[in-house]
Amino acid sequence: MRLTNRDWNALGLSALLIAVVCCLPFLTQGYWLSIGVTIAMYAVLATSWALFSGPTHYISLATAAFFGVGTYTVGYGIEVLPYWTLLPIAGVLGAVLAALAGLATLRLSGVYFVIFTLGLAEFIRQIITWVQNLTGQRGIYVLTSITESHIYWQLVGLAALVFLTGWLIGRSRLGFALRIIGDDEEVARHSGIHTARAKVLLFMVPGAAAAIAGAILAPRYVYIEPMLAFTPMLSFQVVIMALLGGTGRLWGPLVGVIPFTIIWEAISASFPNQTTLLLGVSFLVIVYLLPRGFVGLIEDTRHRGREAQA
């Protein structure tokens, strides 16, 4: 793999940005750090979501399923294993689950996949409840000395990893294959691309990332219960944030996550009863005004600027 000067510049700039972002806990320990945690969490979830759903146009609502699996991995594992080993275990479990779900559904087209992924979180939640019911499980507590700052750094680190993965995939044969699949799956198949395998492989990335994010956040919840770990709201918020930002570019979802989180926060503070309305309005804005998200808007503006110059 040869890197051009431009690539080195981009990588250097990204590293610098991540270093700057990591300084947040030194500036504030309170309110803004908790918003930082939320933004970092959604950055991981929305970016990894867009890695798969961007090129393939499959809308996945499975984020909550993977996230909950990660949370429960830590919930069950914290008593027997050191915390640090649980993060990769959660990642592997998330990836395996994504592969299984992918094998079962990714041969099907669009809408079947959406419905299946929506049901997946509920399905896993029921399995966990069933096992707990069978064994008479007590409440699960995650009592650790992990602070909000640690959680923040871990999430930023995970986000960096997701970006790096996305960047590498974009440069690889797999990324190229996926762009063809997104444009026309029939053509891709005729060109000799193993479409099902490519999709399953890629679906494992958001699976692993969301599971690790869930594992990182488990110590923040202290008490793990299915209602909190598998909240379906999470899946929808991730989709809306990613689409709002735009899935055409690697940094697209981030452009959606930051304003959405801040607006959501402002609305929670000022109009506590109207948060659901924001979700609806965002959906309408995406569909009617920003079909390609903020990325589309930014690129159109640039394009127009260039035309004006010429």
Binding site for other proteins (CB under 8 A): 29-31, 33-35, 37-38, 41, 126, 129-130, 132-133, 136-139, 141, 143, 147-148, 217, 220-223, 225-228, 231, 233, 265, 268-273, 275-276
Minimum CB–partner distance for residue 77 and other proteins (Å): 18
| Pick 165 or 231: Cβ nearer other proteins | 231
DSSP per position, 64-77: HHHHHHHHHHHHHH
Cβ–Cβ under 8 Å, residues 74 and 83: yes
Minimum CB–partner distance for residue 306 and other proteins (Å): 41
Minimum CB–partner distance for residue 158 and other proteins (Å): 16
Structure tokens at 155: 């999430």
Minimum CB–partner distance for residue 215 and other proteins (Å): 15
Rounded distance, CA 156 to CA 9, Å?
20
Length of the chain: 310
Rounded distance, CA 248 to CA 74, Å?
34
| Pick 30 or 192: Cβ nearer other proteins | 30
Minimum CB–partner distance for residue 167 and other proteins (Å): 28
Structure tokens at 306: 């260039």
Rounded distance, CA 74 to CA 85, Å?
10
Minimum CB–partner distance for residue 205 and other proteins (Å): 23
Name the residue among 179, 172, 208 with its Cα closest to residue 195.
179
Strand segments (E) across the chain? 140-141, 223-224
Rounded distance, CA 16 to CA 224, Å?
36
Place of tokens 């659901």: 276
Minimum CB–partner distance for residue 60 and other proteins (Å): 21
Residue 234 dihedral angles phi and psi, to the nearest 5°? -60, -45
Place of tokens 């966990």: 128
| Pick 97 or 229: Cβ nearer other proteins | 229
Strand segments (E) across 212-301? 223-224
